[in-house]
Structure formats: C-alpha cells, structure tokens
Structure 1
Amino acid sequence: MRSFVYISWFSSFLLLILLGSGSLFLWISSDSVPRHPALQVDTLPDLISVREFYANTDAIWGHIPSHDGALLAWWGVKWGHDTVFIGRAGRIDGDGPEVIAVLDGPADTIFWSAFENKLHVVSDGRLWLVDPNSPDRDQWLDVTPRGFQNWEVLKQAPTAEGRNVIMSNDRDPSLVDLYSVRPDGGGKELLVRNDGKTQTWIAGRDGAPRIRVDKAENDDRIYMMRGATDGSWREFARTSPFETLIIGDAPDDGQPIEALDNRGGDLLAFVRIDEQTGAKSVAFSDTKADVAQVLHFSSNPAPGDVAIVRDGYPRYVGLTGRGKTFLHLLHADEGPVDFNIQGTSPDGRFVTLSVSRDEAPFQYFLFDLEASTSTHIANSSFSRHRDELAKTKPVSFVARDGRSIPAFLTLPHGVQPKGLPTVVLVHGGPAERDIWQYDYQKQFLANRGYAVLSVNFRGSIGYGRAFQEAGYGQYGKAMQDDIIDAANWLVSEGIADRSAMAVMGGSYGGYAAALAMTRDPGVFKAAIAEFGVMDVKYQMQNNPFAWGLILDGMNRYFGDPEKTENLQEMTDRSPVSHVDKVTGAILLTAGKEDRIVGFEQSEEFERALKAAGKDVQAAYFEKEGHGYRRWQTDVKRARILEDFLARTLGGRTGNFDLAEIAAKYLN
C-alpha cells in the first residue's frame, strides 16, 4: 500500500512538471491529418493543443482593484490549481504586477473590502477576510454570515461600523429575505421578510431595501419604492408579462430611477423614471436593437456611464464624462472591440478590464478614470497564437416564413470558405442570445477546421419584444425551423458541405440539437447535445422549486404543465419520443450535479438511442452542474468533442493530449 501511494504521488508530481511552462514542458501528441477535402491544404494554421485552450499553466485572469486602486488581486495557476495572487497596482512591468501574496487555499470567488485593502474569499461555502500582509491560510479570518444555511452578500458595508446586507432563501427556497450582519459576520438582523410575492430587492446607499419587484396574480410585475422617511412602500411602475423593466440601482432621495424599459415600445431603451410621478424620459435608445446594458462604474448610486448595443458588432456610447473617458482609453472607435469589466473600486475611479480588439487574445488593463490614464497589466498567454485565430462576422439569413434571423459566422483560418465541414451552434435559454465576442469555443472549433454559425433564432432576446414573442410556444416548431433554415442557408451560400454538418448546443441548445436529429433526420450528420432537455414534459413538471416566481416566463415558451393539452405537445416535441428517426451520430454530455436539467434526461435518451441501435456516445462529468466550470472537465470534454467531430465530419484532432492524464489525476 505504501509503495502504491508513493508511486501515485510521484506520478502526480511528474505530471505537474510535464505540464509546467517553458523549457521543462514536454509535449506529447499525434495530430491527425484532416479527412475532409476542403481542409487538405498547406495553409492550415498549426493545431493549437487542448492544453493551451483549456489547461494553460501560464493563464492569468480576473484582475480586480482594491478600494483605493493600490492593490490588484487576480487568478493564475500554481501546481495545477487555480490560485489567487495579490500584487501592487503601482508596480507593473513586463511580467505583470509585483506579487506580494499568493493565497494558500481554494477560492471560489474573491472581492475586495469596500473600505480597507483586505480581500474577501468565498471557499467551500465560507466567507473569509484575508490581509495581504498575512496571507497564510491559518491567518484568514472567518466572517461568514452567522445563522444562515444559504446566503449571498447583496451590499457590502461601506465602513467598519456599517453592516453587510445579506440575501437568504433559508425560510423558503423560492423566496429571498433580506438581513444585515456586521462586517465580522455576526449580529444577524432581519431587514425585511418576503411576503411571498417579491422577486427582486435593490438596496440603497445605506444598505436598506429601497426598491422591490413583486409578482401580481395576473403575472404583472409591480415596482415599489420605499419611502425614505416613513418606510412605506408605494408603486411607481408596472409591467405586463410581455414588457420588460430592469432597474440598475436604487437612487439617492430626489434622484431619478435609471432603468432599461420597453413599455410602450418594441425595443429596450435607457430611461430615467421620476420616483414620485412614474413619468419616464428616454436618455438613450437605438433604432435596430435593444440597449443591452448600461455600465455603472461606481457601486454607489450614480448615473449610468456607458450604454452598450449589441446588434452585430457591439456599439458603445458614453453617457457621462467618466463614461466618455473610459471609451477614450478603450479606443472604442478603432474597429470592433470586446471587453469585460473585471472589477471597479467603490467610487468608480479605478476599473480593471480584459480587452480583445478584432478577436485578438485578451489584454488586461487598469484604467484610472479620474486621471484619464491606462496601465497595461498583462497579455493573455494565448497571445502567441494571435495570427492563427479565426474571425467572426455578423450575418443574417431569411427564414422560410420571411423573417430575418441574425447570426454570427466564424470561418477557419487558412482555408477557402467553400464546402467546409460546419457546426451550427444553438444558444441556451431560450431567452438568451449569442453576441460578437472573443469566444474560446468558436476558436477551438475553427482551429480544428470547422466553419461555425451561431444562430439567434426567433425567441432570442436583444432584438425587441416582437422578435422574442415570435418564439413563444414555438419550441420544436418555428424556433426549430430557424435552425434548419440556418443549415440550408450555409449550403446555399456555398460555405458548408451538406454531407459534413453538425448541430451543437447546451441546455435549450442541447434540446434543439437533439431534436434536429429526430425531427429533421439527414440535415445534420452529427449532433452534440450538452446538459439538454430531452423530455420537455418531464422538465416542465420538474423545474427547480426556487423558480416559483419566474416560471411564467418558461410557460410562455413551453406551455403550462398544469394544462392537459400542453402535456401532449410537450411529449410530441421531445427528442426522447422519436429516437427511431435518428440517422446520424449523437454525442451527449451532462454534469451529474445539474440541479436545473438533471443528467437523468440525457441518460434516458442515451438508453433509448442504444436500444434503437443508433450511433450514440455519452460523457457524464462528476462535480459539474448546469454548464462546466472545471478545467479538468474542459480538457476531457474538448478531447471527446474533437475526436467525435473528426470521426463524423472529417476535421482535425490532436488525438492524445498529456493534459488528459493531468485532468484524471489532478481531480
């Protein structure tokens, strides 16, 4: 037994050495030659390994500034594990910030204190406070909110004498109550008890609940403001089930409420609402698409700084002086740019962000919006491949009923865009959408030789109420037609080889991918259906109980499971009901801890396919839920995926990757 333990430990140590960066790294692979004729050219870029995509030990990400901008915390990799590093923002060279602390212990989430340069770390359900000057694990201070089973910090205490506002659904999984605790986690006090109708709470500057959103019996949403003097609640706005009103923050007394609002119109606009009269004025709107987002750099009530419209390439509009400074530092007018805010200081002065210009790998920056300066923190470790990456462009096609459907087309680098093996991507939700952005999954597929088309089918958000409502009740029908029409458009444009097409998606996208193989056999040669709904009736009768106040949105798409006539439609439009029609190959993946779409649906679909003698492959991942977060899973999934697509469509695969062994043993 001792010899076995010793060998296992030594093997793991050896794996870590082999997976390290620089000259010590030993690469073992046997890349295959693509079988598809369109890819048998000399101009294909080098195949980028699975390790570099999903298990890169040089990777860094998620830089966030301390309250005064003096320190930065970020994620990196140490001995095969995601690790938190802390460094000085004022001392950055070619290798990044000067590291002053490396946290010795697992971390799920990190955020800085609002009033001191100490870091909060969420680890295994506990909240810890870490002093960068004493980072050893035994020096961490446990400040977990006491007296809770489930909790989330809604608003941090602004000072040491203030109180944190905590959301908890301990009393009822479908309802959230608000409490306050001291910064040390003690002194639990009830702020407001949910009366069974409130979906959302928004706290004011002082941490007290100021705005709430209630669900009415007719499924309207009622927006309530709490008086600053008498504490009474009064209505200031109301929406029907087909309208949207999204409040960004609770304003100070006398200031207007800022929101995204489509009441009385089709598209979401950025508006300001008078809290006394409910009257609204439009601050910014677009004529083609919703205002997707308004950035507020300060965590305290303040006007929105930047509006974002995502119709094709993203467009950014500065709404304040600070917002215009941000866009100037971003050089937002110099071609398409994708950025992600990593963190901000409470006063909004310091902003950290990752920036990808024209789909180049991310660069990381620290902006000082008061001094109007930009500091380059670091480059993504993926930057060495910038000349080998694919480009994505917005496109659209006309569906069979004449509706224009927006999409994004990614073409592999180094080949002619004619007769390519192709993957059609279907997003989840279905009340979601794809956007133009730097996307690892698309880059991975394109590097293997595949054209990729991601489809914003009717029912997707972002293109107005009418476009979304066109999907209500149309799962398995017009929504699915859009996926098939996308495939036919690719062929008609000469981009795709009809005999080498796959459809792929997760959650609702997994449903659509599986259904494409049962409803429209022969259109796609293969499908990759991940954590998908395979039995709509089962799903609608077993949605998470915590969704109690938002299930009406699901019902608009899929029907009411309490109505008998809807249940038969759910059965008829489920992939599991029609396995006999499948003619191609199907790959299923799911997480065993998925609490939204249980992996048992994929299991049952797999059993039915095998019983019918169909070509099916499945992978179920431990420690994963609805979507995958662990690098070990990413590595295993990527290897399965590239081999499956190489077998069915004829693209490239790296075959064996040393990272597979690391993913197995460093679990």
Structure 2
Amino acid sequence: MPFRRLQGIRRFPALFMLCLLCGAAGAQAAASLPSVESFFAYPTLVNAQLSPDGRYVAMLVPAKDGYVRLGVMDVATRAPKVIASFDAADISQFHWVNSDRLVFDAGDRTIGLGEQTQAGGLYAINRDGTDFRQLVLRDLQQQSSSVRSVLPWYTFFYSTIRNSDDIYVGQVDPGGIGKVKPIHLLRLNTRTGRSAIVDRPGLTTRWLMDWQGEPRVATTLDGDMESVFYLDPEQKSWRKLIEFNTFTGHGFVPYFLGPDGSLYVSSRQGTDKTSLYRYDLVKNSVDPQPLVSLQGYDFSGAIVSNDKKFLGVRFETDAEDTKWFDPEMQAMQQAVNDLLPSTVNRITVAGHAQTPYVLVRSYSDVQPAAYFLYDGKEKKLTALGNSMPQINPQQMSGKDMVHYKARDGLEIPAYLTMPNGAGKKNLPMVVLVHGGPYVRDGAWNWNREVQFLASRGYVVLEPEFRGSTGFGWKHFRAGWKQWGLAMQDDVADGARWAIAQGIADPKRICIAGASYGGYATLMGLIRDPDLYRCGFEWVGVTDINLMYNVSWSDISSEYLKYGMPVLVGDQQKDAAQLKATSPLENAARIKQPLLLAYGGSDKRVPIIHGSKFRDAVKATNPDVEWIEYPEEGHGWHLQKNNVDFWSRVEKFLGREIGKPASTSTSAD
C-alpha cells in the first residue's frame, strides 16, 4: 500500500500546557536557512501516553533550560501538573501501571556514554504526585541496597499487568560483555517493592504477555538454535512450539496473544514475504491463511487493542498505516485523517476507556512528531504539542520511495529526498548508507540528518541494498557474504541511476554513513573512485577481521561463532575475500577527501577501527579530517557533539561538492 502524496502541510501550534510546564515552546523558524542547532535540538515534547481509562495524558517535557520532567493532564479540564522531576537528572521513560499510578526511570541528556556512572533506576508515583517510591538502584557500583525491596541497578521495566499495581521487570546479569544472557523476569509490586522471580524455560531472550499481562510465551537461545515455548495455563508448564536456526532458519516470531488466548506470529510459511498469522495452539501449527499480508513488504508493526477486543494492526510499507478490523475505529481514523490530511496519524486507544478521547501522534517527511487528543464524540482535535516546534515544515524537503535495478537485475528500493526549492536537475548528492546492515532504513518520516543535508541543497539517496530486511527473503538472502561486493554495487548503482535520471551532478556525489554505512562509505571510495568525489563516515567498521578479533566489542560470541561466518564471512574459509573487502587493507587506494568520526567509548565498533584506519589512510592521503568524541558511544548522544559534527560535515560538503565542478577548486 503506497503512502498518500500529502498536500497542504500544516504547521501545528504549541500547546498552552507546554508553556505552563516548560516555558515558551520555542522560537518560530526564521525565513532564512535553518540553523544546525534547530535540527539537533532536544525535543520539546518527548513522549505522550494516555492512561488506561483515557481520563489523563502523561507527557515528558523539559523545564526551560533544565531537565525533563513528567507531567499529567486531565483530558476534560486540560489542567496540567508536574508530578515528578529530579534536581540533576532527566526523566527518560515512563509507563502507566494503571490509571492511578506510573513508573519512570532517569537519565541525563548532557552526559555521554563514557561519562555515565549511573543506570536508569526505576521509580513509581501516583498520578497526583503522591506515594513516591524508588524500586531500582541507579549507582552502577552498588549491587544491593540497605532497603530490602530496592532491586539492583541492572533491573529494568518490562511490561504492565492489567488492573494491578504490579509490573514485570527484567534483569540481565551485568558481568562481562560479548555473551547473550537470559532476561530474568520478576513480578514487582510498585507500592511495596516486593518481587518474585518467574520460572523460565531456558536462556530466555524475549517474553510475550497474554491479554491480562501475564507471561505466556518465551523465546530462548541455545548456541544458534532459537526455540519458542508456550506456558500452558492448564498444565502450568512450558512446552516447546518450534525450534529453528536463529540466523538462517525459517521459524516464526511470536507477536501477540489475543483475548481468547489465540497466538499471532509473523512467519514466511514458505513464501518470500513475512506475514502475520494465527498460530493454532491445539494443532501446534500456523494457520494456512495469513491475517495480514503486505504486497512487496515483510510484515512489521504492532497489534492495536483494548481490554475487550483486537481492534486493528499497525504496519509499515513505504509508510506507516493501520488496518482497522473495528468499523468505528476505521471511521475515526478517516475523520482524523480528514482533519490532518498532511500526515501519518497514529491513533492510540485507552485500554478501558471512560472518555471518548484517543491519542494521535502525527508526523510526515517534513513534520516532526506532534501530539493531539481527538474527541470521538465531538469530532474535535486538541493540540498537545510539537516535539520540534522550531522546525518549519515549509522549509523541509519531501521524501519519496523510488526503485531502481541493480546490475544483476535485482530491484532496489530507496528513499529519495529532493532539496526544497533547489530545482530537480543536476544537483549535488549525498548517498547515505544505513547501518546494520541487516535492518531496514526506516519508513517515511522526518529524519534530522536527512533534512539537514537537504536544507543545505543536497539530494539525499538512501538505498535499501540487498541484505536489508523488510523486503522479503530473496532480498535479504542476496546480501549474505556480500559486504564490499554486490551490496556495494547496489549502492553505486543507485548513484548511477540518479545520474541517469538527471537528478545528480556526476561530478558532485559524496557517499556517507555510520557503522556498516561507514564501512560502505570507505569501500565505495575504494571500489568506485570515479563515482564518489568525497566521503564522510562515523563509527564505521574498517575491517571485518577486527570485528572478530577485538575482544572488548559488545558483539555476542554467539553471533561471532554462528551468525557472522554465514552472513558476513568465515574468518578462515573466506580469508582472501575478507582481505580484499577490507577498507583497512586497501586504505592506500582512497585518494578522495575523507572525514572520519569515532566515539572513544564505543563498544559496538571500538575506536581502534577508526584509529588504525586513520593512520593507514593518512600515510597516502593528505586530505583526511579526524574527529574523536571521547565520551560518545556508537553514535552521538550529546547535542553539542551532533551540532559540532554536522557543522563540520556542512563545511566539508560545501568545500567538496557544494559548488558546480566548473568552479570548484578541488581536484576530480
């Protein structure tokens, strides 16, 4: 189902409540070029959730020039109240336990990964600000508390239980890195702090709760074998439903347990695309016909329900959409879409609504998320706030999905963002390669990095090269052992497609990306020096053998032993290929201008990837810029570092591809 080409972009007003909670909502964007800071500012409205009874909405909002606080508003009176805040920390996440109580954890947006000395903790409070209680420690050095009912710091929120003050929390043993560890599940009372551990069937990596919020399905891992177990409510014992190879097998993923006890799973069932099916727990088999099947896409999404019935399914194709099985919800969705015709409008319902209100999260390619309450009785919208009020949608750039053929005939989807008002022909272009690589780049939405680049006049092409997930088994399978080979060709073929369409100036194309995208950036400069004039990458892999050999990486030993040899390359059997496709081994071949950036506290791609490559490439290439953020991990957490990095990128691109080739001072 293709997304609507949306018209009449709407600028949403800031909620008066935000003025009460956090001061002025933010300056209106000027008519001039948006600043770097405006793209990488922290959100003004971080999150919003309806209470289970639909009478209240809770939101995370920052104090003016201060920390993020938790506020609650009565949907009828619109009276807001800050119920929780810290003197020296942000509230990071929250969840309604029931309609009278919430839990939340802490963090600090101004502290990088390498400087953190505290975990998130966990706290509970009533919606009126009373009965506050600490449930989980924050100090990373403190394993236990003198207060018996306060759990250790490696405990985290997992799920709620219907009509209860209890929640489920998970614990993962903190010792060591590089090993998949079980999630220990505990039932925790948020008023007393008392907890009890839940029996698990093995090394459990995922739990699925039933309609009432009780654990009913567990996914386990043993080496490379994944199993799904079901806790029979009659027998009160775990039974295995399926076992398959987690990296190459064809099993299913448990998705949802309905009010009648039905289990819904995502599976391919011998086809190319993953669909949503019902699993028959009596016959121990997947029903032959899917409940939701998407043309051209694997199913990915969520079930939407209340405490009475299964209402609909949220899913992604080239954009997010919802299939409502309930006629009243379908009519409500249409009414909301008529009021907000320019956006994807995600409706969230209350579990057992006592009011006619639903929550609407509204966004588009040019509009950051904005939140509304919709009154289903009066058919009216009330704005709660905009996450990025300083962003003017009129200054943003439209994104569309395109398709092109790779050189071997495989169809490659890609997102193309054309700069607003820059014309349609012969433009400078950034080919932005996603990380993973076995993930999907994401659907149609507002992306700060992409929009920043487009605001500076650059076309942005985001290829979903082979190996990307979400487009079927054939597309994913075609990427096995193709790092630096066919996966790289797919990216180059996208750039050449844009040239053939007259979109991109062949003399002004730069390749960029993070993590695997950083690897692809370096290999692109090596394999296609005639195509890419420059490259910039951050936290990028520079050698596949380093992924195997660096012992302080957080890549699991199971993935190194069972996954990487199949998906990426075997260190012994494919030694020649890994050397030929190593940017580190081929650094001397890169002659184009290059910008490299790494986090000193990165555990996914440790900084040795960057430092070894920097030393190798600088030996033969004088035009290399090196950036290191010692406190950062795998990507930039701090606003100041995002602003610094993208300001450097802006200068780099302006120098290398910002001017037509005829007037540029850089060599080809």
Give the TM-score of the pair, scaled to structure 2. 0.81
| Farther off after superposition, 398-407 or 207-216 | 207-216
User: Separation in 2 of the partners of 1:183 and 1:78?
Assistant: 27
What are the Cα deviations for residues 239-297 of structure 1, in whole angstroms up to 9, with x where unaligned?
45242522223445x53211221121111111111112123141121232222213335
Letter in structure 2 aligned against 1:319: F
Distance change in 2, residues 1:329/1:479 (3 Å): same
Deviation at 1:237, TM superposition (A): 3.6
Aligned to 1:70: 55
User: Separation in 2 of the partners of 1:151 and 1:594?
Assistant: 23
Aligned to 1:17: none
The answer to whether the Cα contact below 8 Å between 1:160 and 1:183 also exists between their aligned partners in 2 is no
3-state SS of 1:609 partner: helix
Please tell me whether residue 129 in structure 1 is matched to residue 124 in structure 2: yes
Please tell me whether residue 112 in structure 1 is matched to residue 95 in structure 2: yes
After superposition, where does 1:313-332 map in structure 2 within 5 Å?
313-321=319-327, 323-325=329-331, 327-331=333-337
Aligned to 2:631: 623
- Let me know the Cα RMSD of the aligned residues: 3.4
The answer to whether the Cα contact below 8 Å between 1:250 and 1:301 also exists between their aligned partners in 2 is no
Aligned to 2:603: 595
| Farther off after superposition, 224-233 or 156-165 | 156-165
User: Separation in 2 of the partners of 1:208 and 1:102?
Assistant: 28
Aligned to 1:267: 273
Letter in structure 2 aligned against 1:260: S
User: Separation in 2 of the partners of 1:547 and 1:301?
Assistant: 41
User: Separation in 1 of the partners of 2:402 and 2:439?
Assistant: 18
Aligned to 1:557: 567
Distance change in 2, residues 1:381/1:546 (3 Å): closer
Letter in structure 1 aligned against 2:276: F
What are the Cα deviations for residues 176-202 of structure 1, in whole angstroms up to 9, with x where unaligned?
222233224743433125634x33222
Deviation at 1:134, TM superposition (A): 4.3
Aligned to 1:143: 135
User: Separation in 1 of the partners of 2:239 and 2:360?
Assistant: 39
3-state SS of 1:458 partner: coil
Deviation at 1:582, TM superposition (A): 0.6
What are the Cα deviations for residues 11-44 of structure 1, in whole angstroms up to 9, with x where unaligned?
xxxxxxxxx96999999xxxxxxxxxxxxxxxxx
Distance change in 2, residues 1:595/1:516 (3 Å): same
User: Separation in 2 of the partners of 1:480 and 1:332?
Assistant: 43
User: Separation in 2 of the partners of 1:345 and 1:548?
Assistant: 42
The answer to whether the Cα contact below 8 Å between 1:155 and 1:166 also exists between their aligned partners in 2 is no
The correspondence for 1:83, drawn from 51, 54, 68, is 68
Please tell me whether residue 392 in structure 1 is matched to residue 387 in structure 2: no
Please tell me whether residue 492 in structure 1 is matched to residue 497 in structure 2: no
Distance change in 2, residues 1:162/1:51 (3 Å): closer
| Farther off after superposition, 112-121 or 495-504 | 112-121
What are the Cα deviations for residues 548-567 of structure 1, in whole angstroms up to 9, with x where unaligned?
45554444321234xx1234
User: Separation in 2 of the partners of 1:366 and 1:449?
Assistant: 36
The answer to whether the Cα contact below 8 Å between 2:98 and 2:164 also exists between their aligned partners in 1 is yes
Aligned to 2:545: 537
User: Separation in 1 of the partners of 2:84 and 2:193?
Assistant: 28
User: Separation in 1 of the partners of 2:26 and 2:453?
Assistant: 28
Distance change in 2, residues 1:559/1:229 (3 Å): same
Distance change in 2, residues 1:142/1:285 (3 Å): same
The correspondence for 1:647, drawn from 630, 634, 655, is 655
Deviation at 1:432, TM superposition (A): 1.3
The correspondence for 2:205, drawn from 177, 199, 210, is 199
Give the TM-score of the pair, scaled to structure 1. 0.81
What are the Cα deviations for residues 37-77 of structure 1, in whole angstroms up to 9, with x where unaligned?
xxxxxxxx731111222237x83331222333333333334
Question: What are the ranges of 5 or more consecutive residues in structure 1 without an aligned counterpart?
Answer: 1-19, 28-44, 653-667
3-state SS of 1:645 partner: helix
3-state SS of 1:284 partner: coil
User: Separation in 2 of the partners of 1:244 and 1:149?
Assistant: 34
Letter in structure 2 aligned against 1:378: G
Aligned to 1:16: none
What are the Cα deviations for residues 401-436 of structure 1, in whole angstroms up to 9, with x where unaligned?
111111111111112221111000111111112222
User: Separation in 2 of the partners of 1:437 and 1:385?
Assistant: 15
Letter in structure 2 aligned against 1:214: T
Question: What are the ranges of 5 or more consecutive residues in structure 2 without an aligned counterpart?
Answer: 1-22, 107-117, 137-148, 661-668
Please tell me whether residue 403 in structure 1 is matched to residue 399 in structure 2: no
User: Separation in 1 of the partners of 2:652 and 2:328?
Assistant: 49
Aligned to 1:154: 158
Distance change in 2, residues 1:325/1:621 (3 Å): farther
The answer to whether the Cα contact below 8 Å between 1:399 and 1:482 also exists between their aligned partners in 2 is yes
Aligned to 2:146: none
User: Separation in 1 of the partners of 2:520 and 2:29?
Assistant: 41
What are the Cα deviations for residues 441-470 of structure 1, in whole angstroms up to 9, with x where unaligned?
211111101011110001111111111101
The answer to whether the Cα contact below 8 Å between 2:97 and 2:167 also exists between their aligned partners in 1 is no
Identity of aligned residues (%): 24
3-state SS of 2:186 partner: strand
3-state SS of 1:289 partner: coil
The answer to whether the Cα contact below 8 Å between 2:542 and 2:613 also exists between their aligned partners in 1 is yes
User: Separation in 2 of the partners of 1:24 and 1:207?
Assistant: 43
Distance change in 2, residues 1:119/1:629 (3 Å): farther
Letter in structure 2 aligned against 1:463: F
Distance change in 2, residues 1:101/1:127 (3 Å): closer
Aligned to 1:168: 172
Please tell me whether residue 55 in structure 1 is matched to residue 62 in structure 2: no
Letter in structure 1 aligned against 2:135: V
The answer to whether the Cα contact below 8 Å between 1:73 and 1:84 also exists between their aligned partners in 2 is no
Deviation at 1:78, TM superposition (A): 3.1
The correspondence for 1:547, drawn from 527, 549, 556, is 556
User: Separation in 2 of the partners of 1:637 and 1:200?
Assistant: 36
The answer to whether the Cα contact below 8 Å between 1:394 and 1:407 also exists between their aligned partners in 2 is yes
3-state SS of 1:283 partner: coil
The answer to whether the Cα contact below 8 Å between 1:213 and 1:221 also exists between their aligned partners in 2 is yes
The answer to whether the Cα contact below 8 Å between 2:525 and 2:535 also exists between their aligned partners in 1 is yes
**Aligned residues, how many?**
601
What are the Cα deviations for residues 158-190 of structure 1, in whole angstroms up to 9, with x where unaligned?
455545343433478522222233224743433
After superposition, where does 1:171-182 map in structure 2 within 5 Å?
174-176=180-182, 177-182=184-189
Deviation at 1:150, TM superposition (A): 1.5
Distance change in 2, residues 1:148/1:77 (3 Å): closer
User: Separation in 1 of the partners of 2:25 and 2:301?
Assistant: 41
Deviation at 1:206, TM superposition (A): 5.5
Deviation at 1:320, TM superposition (A): 3.4
Distance change in 2, residues 1:264/1:305 (3 Å): same
User: Separation in 1 of the partners of 2:234 and 2:334?
Assistant: 41
User: Separation in 1 of the partners of 2:197 and 2:48?
Assistant: 34
The correspondence for 1:501, drawn from 491, 496, 509, is 509
The answer to whether the Cα contact below 8 Å between 2:94 and 2:104 also exists between their aligned partners in 1 is yes
The answer to whether the Cα contact below 8 Å between 2:166 and 2:187 also exists between their aligned partners in 1 is no
User: Separation in 2 of the partners of 1:560 and 1:585?
Assistant: 32
The answer to whether the Cα contact below 8 Å between 1:224 and 1:235 also exists between their aligned partners in 2 is yes
- Compare the two structures and name the one with the higher helix fraction: 1
User: Separation in 2 of the partners of 1:270 and 1:475?
Assistant: 31
Aligned to 2:85: 103
3-state SS of 2:586 partner: helix
Aligned to 1:36: none
Please tell me whether residue 440 in structure 1 is matched to residue 423 in structure 2: no
